[in-house]
A and B are shown apart, each in its own frame.
Chain A
Amino acid sequence: MTLIGWAQIALVLILVVAAAVPLGRYIAAVASGRVTWLRPAEVLFFRAAGVDPERGQDWRGYALAMLAANAAGFVLLFAILRLQGMLPLNPQGFDGMSSWLAFNTAVSFVTNTNWQAYSGEAAVSYLSQMAGLAVQNFLSAASGIALALAVSRAFARGGVRELGNFWADFTRITLYVLLPLAVVVGLALVALGVPQTFAGYVTATTLEGAEQVIPLGPAAFQIAIKHLGTNGGGFFGVNSAHPFEGPSAVATAIQIWAQTVIPFALCLTFGRIVSDLRQGRALLVVMLGFVLAATAGIYAAEAAGNPLMTELGVDPAMGNMEGKEIRFGMPLVALFTATTTGASCGAVNAMLDSFTPLGGLVPLFLIQLGEVLPGGVGSGLYGMLVFVLLSVFVAGLMVGRTPEYLGKKVQAREIKLATLGVLVLPATILGLTAVSMVLPAAVSSIAAAGPHGLSEMLYAYTSAAGNNGSAFGGLTADTPWLNGTLAIAMLLWRFAFMVPVMAIAGSLAGKVKAPASAGTFPTHGPLFMGLLAGVILILGGLQFLPSLVLGPLAEHFAILAGKTF
């Protein structure tokens, strides 16, 4: 680790937080309908869809509208991917995706996961990229943010049933937040050399005289929303490690900024909606603390290098550079990896399979902590609020008071629903990994032996169930078993978590806010932040530590003993 490396990390994070402050204020204004500079387009959408934006929905209406929008997106994307061979904008003449792969991909993009069992430049037409995948990048992100706004309103309102109108939130977030930001980031990426063209692939002759096909395409703007929406699905197979997807250190810094700015800004939006900015700041500080700790963990592990390589005479000064791009350098790889797994983005600018065991453990554990650090756009905030409720519940048990958060009493119903929600992740990850590790059809997909092989399978289900989408690698993912079960894992966490969260919001919105008293536990101070971080860590640790011991930790000690896999 170097000082200049930490300076790079600090600079990017400062730029993220600096932008999150005004963006949080702006999203709060969008949520309240005060932003109107695209009013004609907004009204056009509402009229075409027959939506009355002023008509409020209770939690059931809001959740059902979200499910309807996402179900329609799934059918449309599945159809586009299956039929792309017959559709225009397909200069490479790609055939339709196989049924299993189209199913997995459609679920993946609708759930904001963007797990990819295909290589974009070898399997997906330009039309599928733009009208299929990119559209879902916007809409799945808008769904998550809309739900976060609805949950935030539940804490701000009292004695009501209505949480807002899903269609109004969904439209306004897409029009006023995601589209303008995507245009700005997309233009910046074009300026840095990312292609945005309908021209077909180019065949070049290399210096050795061999022929090389260079893929192109309308990449820049899809890459912009892939990061802003914490989607993560790469235009090219190796994602942001591709020289056209992440051409320079500046481009990768912009991508890190883009994949973290909205999740952090939404904390401040929450503070504004509940009229107590300190509450939003507390959530932001906890999230930022975890991001910094995870970055330090990855940076330290990778900078220390692989002792087996050092024994072979490789200079350890550069650290473990296998699977990493020289043009990014170790610090930005560490920060990118921590933010992409913490923020549920799933883009990669280095190959995680090549990380040291401890370096690979950190992103794996970050996803297992519930994708709330800072989490996906919207899903990070409402996921964090579930942990907040569990924290105040624990605090209430310790001091013998009815737990409260922002004046709302947290009672048995909310805790039962929160428990229902948080149990989905470990049940899905550990259950499906356990089955896959004994099923010959699934085990045959693993490339590596020993604990590294377990890490590959565990990471795949962790990534899918956490709606992250990054791959550890080394796994033959395009099989019916993995396409099917990974899709089920993605659907479960996305929606079986969203529904109880919305039920909690509905329950809280109906409660009258109690005024703060001398006995109220302050939820904006360092004591609460520490408690919240502890609850997140202990929940994650208890659920997943045994699997981490069998995978990356076992591999780490095996390497120290001179063994490799």
Chain B
Amino acid sequence: MPGSSIANGSFMSPAPIFPRFAGLCRKGSTMLDILLLSLGLGAFALMVAYVAGCDRV
């Protein structure tokens, strides 16, 4: 039931919210995959730095 289904209470919407970045939001964008993977791994890298930071508190 795509388009009207409730996921844990959330409605699905296929429409991109930022029209300017619509190209980035389409399915199969390798560049966006790389960006998002980098964002996720960057967050983990930040936490590694946070470990070093907390060690100095």
The interface of chain A, by Cβ under 8 A from chain B, is 60, 63-64, 67, 70-71, 74-75, 78, 82, 95-96, 98-100, 102-103, 106-107, 114-123, 232-234, 237-239, 346, 348, 351-353, 413, 416-417, 420, 441-442, 444-445, 447, 469-481, 484, 487-488, 491, 495-496, 499-500, 502-503
Complex Cα distance, B47 from A63, in Å, reads: 9
Assuming the A-B contacts A122-B2, A471-B8, are A481 and B17 also in contact, with contact meaning beta carbons closer than 8 angstroms in the complex? yes
- 0/1 string, B19-57, CB within 8 A of A gives 1: 001000111110011001101110110011011001101
Q: A478-B10, A495-B43 are in contact. List 7 more A-B contacts (CB 8 A).
A: A67-B51, A75-B40, A95-B27, A117-B10, A445-B13, A477-B11, A477-B12
- For A71, give the chain B residue with the smallest CB separation: B44
Given A441-B18, A481-B18, the answer on whether A116 and B8 have CB atoms closer than 8 Å is yes
Residues of A within 8 A of B39 (CB): 103, 484
CA distance A442 to B29 in the complex (A): 23
Q: List 26 A-B contacts (CB under 8 A).
A: A60-B51, A74-B41, A75-B40, A98-B27, A99-B32, A99-B33, A100-B25, A102-B36, A103-B39, A106-B40, A117-B7, A117-B12, A121-B5, A232-B8, A237-B1, A237-B7, A348-B9, A444-B17, A476-B13, A477-B11, A478-B14, A484-B39, A495-B44, A496-B50, A499-B51, A502-B51
B interface majority secondary structure: mixed
Q: Which of A106, A478, A503 contacts B12 (CB 8 A)?
A: A478
Contact A120 B7 (CB under 8 A): yes
- The CA of A41 and the CA of B38, in the complex, are separated in Å by 34
Contact B8–A348 (Cβ < 8 Å): yes
Of all A-B residue pairs in the complex, the 7 with the closest CB atoms, nearest first, are A473-B9, A471-B9, A119-B5, A477-B10, A503-B54, A103-B36, A71-B44
Is A119 touching B18 in the complex (CB atoms < 8 A)? no
Partner pick for A118 among B7, B25, B57, CB 8 A cutoff: B7
In the complex, chain A residues whose CB is within 8 Å of the CB of B47: 67, 495-496, 499
**In whole angstroms, how far apart are the Cα atoms of A500 and B33 in the complex?**
31
Considering only CB atoms, which chain B residue lies closest to A470 in the complex?
A: B8
Contact A63 B9 (CB under 8 A): no
Q: Is the CB of A119 within 8 A of B13?
A: no
Q: A168–B9 Cα gap in the complex (Å)? A: 37
Residues of A close to B1: CB separation below 8 A: 119, 121-122, 237
Q: Which residues of B contact A (CB under 8 A)?
A: 1-2, 5-18, 21, 25-29, 32-33, 36-37, 39-41, 43-44, 47-48, 50-51, 54-55, 57
> From residue B19, how far is it (CB to closest CB) to chain A in Å?
10
Nearest-CB distance from A425 to chain B (Å)?
Answer: 16
B54 to chain A, nearest CB (A): 4
Whether the pair B51, A107 counts as a contact (CB closer than 8 A) is no
Minimum Cβ distance to chain B for residue A394 (Å): 20
For B22, give the chain A residue with the smallest CB separation: A480
> In angstroms, how far is the closest chain A Cβ from the Cβ of B5?
4
Nearest opposing residue in chain A for B43, CB measure: A491
- In Å, the complex CA distance between A75 and B40 comes to 8
Chain A nearest CB from B55 CB (Å) reads: 6
Least distance between A59 CB and chain B CB atoms (Å): 8
Cβ–Cβ < 8 Å partners of B16 in chain A = 479-480
Q: How far is the CB of A237 from chain B (nearest CB, A)?
A: 5
- Residues of B near A353 (CB, < 8 A) are 9
CB distance from A165 to the nearest CB of B (A): 17
- Given the contacts A119-B1, A417-B54, A475 and B10 also touching, CB distance less than 8 Å: yes
Asked whether, in the complex, the Cβ of A480 is within 8 Å of the Cβ of B17, the reply is yes
Q: Do A474 and B48 have beta carbons less than 8 Å apart?
A: no
Bound Cα distance from A470 to B47, whole angstroms: 25
**Complex: chain A residue closest to B36, CB-CB:** A103
CB of B2 within 8 A of CB of A116, answer no
Contact indicator A477/B55 (Cβ below 8 Å): no
Min distance, Cβ A79 to any Cβ of chain B, angstroms: 9
CA A118 – CA B21 in complex, angstroms?
21
Alpha-carbon distance between A496 and B10 when the two chains are bound, in angstroms: 26
Shortest Cβ distance from B32 into A: residue: A99
Give the Cβ gap from B51 to chain A, nearest Cβ, in Å.
5
Contact across chains for B27 and A476 when beta carbons are under 8 A apart: no
Most-contacted residue by chain A among B15, B17, B48, B55 (CB, 10 A): B17
In chain A, what residue has the closest Cβ to B27?
Answer: A98
The distance in angstroms between the C-alpha atoms of A114 and B25, with both chains bound, is: 22
Indicate if the CB atoms of A473 and B6 lie closer than 8 Å: yes
Interface contact B6-A237, CB-CB below 8 Å: yes
Question: Do A447 and B11 have beta carbons less than 8 Å apart?
Answer: yes
